[in-house]
Amino acid sequence: MIPAVSDQNRSAGEGQPRSVEDEQSRAAGGGGEGLRYLLVLSRPRFWLYLAGPVAVGVTYGIDAVSGLFTPVTVALALYFLVPANVFLYGVNDVFDADIDELNPKKEGREARWQGSRPVVAAVVASGALGLATLAITPRVAWPYLLGFLVLAVGYSAPPVRFKTTPFLDSLSNGLYALPGAAAYATVAGAHPPLAALAGAWLWTMGMHTFSAIPDIEPDRAAGIDTTATLLGEGRTYAYCFAAWAAAAAGFWAVDARLGALLGVYPVFVAWVARSSVSVDRAYWWFPALNTVVGTLLSMGGLWRVYPLWEALP
C-alpha cells in the first residue's frame, strides 16, 4: 500500500558539496546515468505506495483466481509501480527545484532536479502513459485514473499547488488511494464500496500529515504553509490519530476484520506521540509498516476466492 508523501514537501536545510552536484548533473544526462537518475527521482523506496493499492483493489474486485493476473491487471500494476512514480515525483521536483536546493534530504536518498530534455521527456511520457490506461480499462475506472493524474499535477504545480495550502495538502493526497479504486473498478466492473473508498482516502490523509511532522520547522523557515505547520506537532499527532481512526471505522463498515487491521495506525501514532522515539526515525518505518498491512489486506482478498485451507497440502 501506498507516503512517503512527505517526500513531496520537505524543503529546507543546507546545500550539498559540489562533487555531489556534479555527480547528479551527470546522472541527468543520457544513457545509463540518465536511467539511474530517473530511478532515484521515482523514489524506489516508496514504489509500493501506488502499486500496492492496485494489488489490494484487484484481490477484492475479482470473483475467481483466474482474474488475478490478466493483461489489464498486470499493465495497471506495472504502470503504478514505476511510470506513475516518475510522473508524480517528476512533477513535484520540477516545481520544487528552487527550495530543494536547500533540502539536505536531496544529498542522500534522493537527487535534486536536473531538468535535461530526456528527463523532462520521460516525465511527460509517464503522464501520457497514464492517459493510455484509459484505452484498456472500462469507463467505470476512468474517474479514478483521471483523478490520480489531475491530483498528481495539482499537488505540486501552480496555480493550485495543494501542497502549500493547509488541509488541502492532506485532502489531495487521496490520490494514493485512487490506483486501488481504479483496479477494483476494472476487474469488478463496478465502483468500490463507498465506505472502503472513504476509509482509504482518510488513511492517506493521516499518512501524509504524519510524514510532514519532521518538516514543521524547515517548512516554517522556508515560508511553506502545511497542515502540520498550522497545527504544530502536538495537534498534528491528534489530527493523524483522528484521520486513521476514521479510516479504520470506514473499513470496519465493510468488514470488521479490515477495520481491526487498519486500527494499527491510530495505535502507532499514539505510541509515537507518547514515546521517546523520534518522529524522524518513525517516519522511515512507514514503508515496512505499510508493506505488512498491504500484504495482509491482499491476502485477505485472495482468501475470499481461494480459501486458505484449499491452499494447504
Residues 213, 194: Cα–Cα separation, whole Å? 29
pLDDT at 141 over 70: yes
Average pLDDT, the chain: 84
C-alpha cell recorded at residue 265: 495506525
Question: Is 10 a member of any domain?
Answer: no
Q: What is the DSSP letter of 285?
A: T
- Work out the end-to-end distance of the chain between its first and last CA atoms, rounded to an integer number of angstroms: 30
CB 225 within 8 A of CB 166: yes
CA distances, 21 to each of 24, 91, 100, 123 (Å): 5, 20, 12, 21
User: What pLDDT was estimated at residue 306?
Assistant: 81
- CATH number at 265 reads 1.20.120.1780
* Per-residue pLDDT tens digits for 4-16: 444 444 443 334 4
Question: Is 312 a member of any domain?
Answer: no
Q: What is the DSSP letter of 192?
A: P
Say whether both 183 and 130 belong to one domain: yes
pLDDT at 97 over 70: no
Q: Among 191, 219, 248, where does a domain finish?
A: 191
* Per-residue pLDDT tens digits for 19-51: 434 444 444 445 556 677 778 777 888 889 999
Range of the domain at 206: 193-302
Question: Looking at the 3D structure of the chain, how many domains does it have?
Answer: 2
Angle, helices 264-274 vs 227-254, to 10°: value is 150
**Cell 506513475 maps to which residue?**
84
Question: Is 308 a member of any domain?
Answer: no
Say whether both 139 and 94 belong to one domain: yes
Residues 247, 174: Cα–Cα separation, whole Å? 12
Q: What is the DSSP letter of 307?
A: -
Residues 49, 62: Cα–Cα separation, whole Å? 21
* Per-residue pLDDT tens digits for 254-263: 999 999 999 9
**Quick one: which of 171, 2, 181, 209 has its CA closest to 85?**
2
- CATH number at 71 reads 1.10.357.140
pLDDT at 18 over 50: no
C-alpha cell recorded at residue 43: 523514489
Residues 199, 204: Cα–Cα separation, whole Å? 9
Residues 24, 17: Cα–Cα separation, whole Å? 11
Q: Among 191, 213, 229, where does a domain finish?
A: 191
User: What pLDDT was estimated at residue 10?
Assistant: 44
Question: Is 14 a member of any domain?
Answer: no
167-176: average pLDDT: 96
User: What pLDDT was estimated at residue 169?
Assistant: 95
Question: Is 35 a member of any domain?
Answer: no
Say whether both 56 and 68 belong to one domain: yes
User: What pLDDT was estimated at residue 20?
Assistant: 39
User: What pLDDT was estimated at residue 9?
Assistant: 47
* Per-residue pLDDT tens digits for 103-133: 444 455 555 556 677 788 889 999 999 999 9
